[in-house]
Every structure is written in C-alpha cells, then in structure tokens.
Amino acid sequence: MIDKGQTISELCAAYQRNLKEQFGEALEMSDEFQWEWITVPHFVHTPFYTYAYAFGQLLVLALYQQYRNEGAGFVPRYLRLLSYGGSESPSTILSEAGLDISQPRVLAGWFRCFGKV
C-alpha cells in the first residue's frame, strides 16, 4: 500500500479491516487500535517473520508424533532438545531427534502429521 502511495489514514483503515476480519465480533476494539500496526517493527523490518510461527507449529506436531510413536522412550531425547535453549542452530538440535530439516521430505512429512494429530 505504501508503494502505491496510500495515505496513513488508508493504511490505518486497512489494518482495522484486517483486525475485524480476524476477530469478528469476538473482540471489541477501540479506535486507538488503528495505530497498532505502527508499533510493531517486525511488520516492516522482518519480512516473512510469520513463517517462524508455522515452522514452530509443524515442529511441535512432528515431535508430538514421535512421542506418540515411541512413547516414554522419546522423553529423554525431548528433554535434551529443550536443554539446548538457543545455544545451537535448529538444524543441529533437531538432528538429535532424527529430523534433518534441510530435507524437503521432512517438512512434507510434518504437513502430513498435521492432519493426523
């Protein structure tokens, strides 16, 4: 919208329409919410940040599927994964769980898993 020369008022109105679409009647928002988009820097400075949420959701489902398949034997490996915190890359951490996230077939498997959980 900015590239097309839209005004701040038009951007605010578009944001409010989006919020209304997301929340419908479940949430009452004051007019001040039209300015919320300005306060969220990752909307502008981190394109595609939402893919991290999708990745996280699929990862949780894949790990849960491993737990369902392996039972209690999976728990020590899972606790080891958690113990890393942010000290290693996701690919290194997940390799301990037998997940090679560089392989498209792994991600495709996660999507299949999503339908089963």
Residue ranges per structural domain of the chain: 8-45, 50-116
Distance CA 69, CA 51 (A): 27
pLDDT tens by residue, 44-100: 778 777 788 878 888 888 888 889 999 999 999 999 999 998 899 988 998 887 788
Distance CA 32, CA 117 (A): 39
Whether the per-residue pLDDT at 5 is higher than 70: the answer is yes
Specify the higher pLDDT residue, 2 or 10.
10
Entry pTM: 0.57
Record the tokens describing residue 23, joined without a space. Answer: 């929340």
For the chain, the residue count is: 117
Q: Residue 111 contacts by C-beta under 8 Å, 6 or more apart in sequence?
A: 58
Distance CA 79, CA 6 (A): 50
pLDDT tens by residue, 12-52: 999 999 989 988 888 888 889 899 988 888 777 787 777 88
